[in-house]
Structure 1
Amino acid sequence: MSANDLNQPLRNRRPRSTGRGPTGIVIPAVVTLGCVLAALALIWVAVVDDPAGGRFQAVVAIADASPDNTASIGKAPAEADRPGRAAAPAAGTETGPDLAAFAGSSASPAFRRAGSQPLPELLESSSFGPLPRISGDGLRPLDAYARSPAGSVAGAGPNSPRIALVLGGLGISQTGTQQAIQTLPPDVTLAFAPYGSSLDRWVTRAREDGHEVVVQVPLEPLGYPQVDPGEHTLLASAEPDANIRDLHWSMGRITSYTAVMNYMGARFASEEPAMRDLLAEIGGRGLAYIDDGTSPGSVARRVGEETGVPVVVADKVVDAVRSKDAIAKELSALEALARRRGGVAVGVASAFPTTIQALAAWIPEAEARGISLVPVSAALAR
């Protein structure tokens, strides 16, 4: 490119007119008129003191743009219409005094029952996350988050055989957690491990489907540390404050639960001082304790009776052997126990695919034989 190429546009430009033609008259007139109008506007603002600067204003009511309901963004019809699924009631719903009796409560004056979200008055802030607490008017999380018995034992007499199933290990496997929530009816209680991921999302989903929720806490087993449940395990030899901190870590991982359930812990459960400290903290926060029944030396039931803390001890682990035939056999034994007892028998299991499939197949058959499936809180009244 030459210097002439750079200068060419300038050489081709027309010379600016200096005459007094029509353009030369109109432009000054327009500028003068604009100045006059601007001056008048300034005078108007100064005299009238209009905070909007003379702009036109209109006041209108803005309606809430949110829909009347969330049906358009809720579950697909196939999900919402699954047999046996009952939507959890909205927070603050009154359910009557029989809920307190069902959950074993004598101190639940308001009988409020939460929906899928936790009640703010039942939460305490901590460095580990929100912890459960008893509300100022005496409402316990055990009562607020317990599944209503109305649908669980409808038509069943006080001595009718009932079975409570607690499925543990939820949150560890995303596929297994989803399968459990989608497949099992809401009267199956779901126990979430503190090491799981996306726990808030899964707990909310479980609560939306009506499940009662429990949090699992790792306790020292026999053979520790060679046998290690995981980080934040409560130890029988640890100082009480250290165990409470580890307990709070697990409890702060989820919300909206009715009880704490052990994960392993044969050594810890056999040590009375350690169990007394644990149950005192759990009961003081308005929760129950579930012992999975795997430790013959557990003192949980006796300490609970002595201290007034609600304790449920499971009668049977139904999937100690993980095959469909073995699980079916254990479920039949649990059913026979419920019939002999004339009340509630409690079974625990883990969220393995084989276990979930076996439970899903057995439950409708058992109900056809007159067995009522109930949440684990029902066992507090047995």
Structure 2
Amino acid sequence: MRQQLISNAAYHGAAVVLGVIGIVGFVFNACVIFIMIKDPQLRTPQNLILFNLAVSDFAVSLVGNPVTLAAAITKGWIFGQTICVMYGFFMGLFGISSITTLSVLAYDRYLMIRYPFSTRRLTNESAIYAIASIWVYAFIVTGPPLFGWSHYVNESADISCSVDWESGEYVSYVVFIFLFGFFIPVSIIFYSYINLFITVKRRASTNSFGQATKAEFRVAIMVVVMIIAFLISWTPYAVLALLIAFAGVQVSPIVSIILAIFAKSSICWNPIIYIGLNTQFRTAWKRFLKISNQMEGSKEGENFTRVSKMIVGKVDSVPSPNSTVEQYDTSPAITHWMAIDERENDSTGPYMFNLEMCNICKNKVLDITRPCDIGDVSL
């Protein structure tokens, strides 16, 4: 008869929490994946990286949570050693993929704000290469136990499997996975955001904090909230594993299972943050559900009322606010499109203008009746 490591009530409680995490993670991430596939306007390079994160979280809810839930219900691991190895590997793969994706997003946010008008932008093609590199990197970090460098074994009150932290037989791999799977991605994240906020502070002090930078900064805030949520979820578990591996700390199975479940909850937070802090996703849902937003439409009509065109070697006049301009063929030269944020000053009467470069196009026909995008941010 298999020995129970925790009480029946603890197993039942774990099953309930795992069930909630699995359902929320599955439904919310499925919604994010669906709307990103459904809405062409969300297919920006940065959103492709976000899509990869949603896929990784969705895979955990689809593959990992049902197995752990079944083990909690049956009060122990019932699937055998082969499934244990597969479970441990894929959960590690998806976890490393998630934190690596977050580090890529953080570094991209830093570059976007540090060099807002650089022509070397992240493109759909380079985003796909980045995603492929993320998965290759995650496999390099989590694959060695499949080939004999460490093992995947049962852990957390015998309801899940992970890397062998306790035996001390493969300390070198423990160092390897923490260095490349946690510390390096986290260091990239901190480097990116420290420099990002330094850049923002410098521009704010010189009054060069334009509309585009503000928009990108809002997206950067969304990414940093996602990173904080991930680190809050995973850091206690990571610290526990380090203490077990290097300090020989012994903890009760109930503490181990609580921290492991808390780490698994990270799959729920990202889609909530997408929808709560990303206006693109909210607008896409409204488009999909055919819900009109008259207030946003009115604001867009007021703010995006005039456009100036500046061609290298030639400056055209600014169209009248009442004129109808649908398209310009910019094939003869590089055209800088500048969105004019027009607001009336109640005290003085004249209009106040805030010019911000919107896009740099070459040999393209632009439709200026649609809002401009800076990176992945609609203005």
Shorter chain as normaliser: what TM range?
Answer: under 0.3
Bigger radius of gyration? 1
TM-score, normalised on structure 2? 0.26
Structure (1/2) with the larger helix percentage: 2
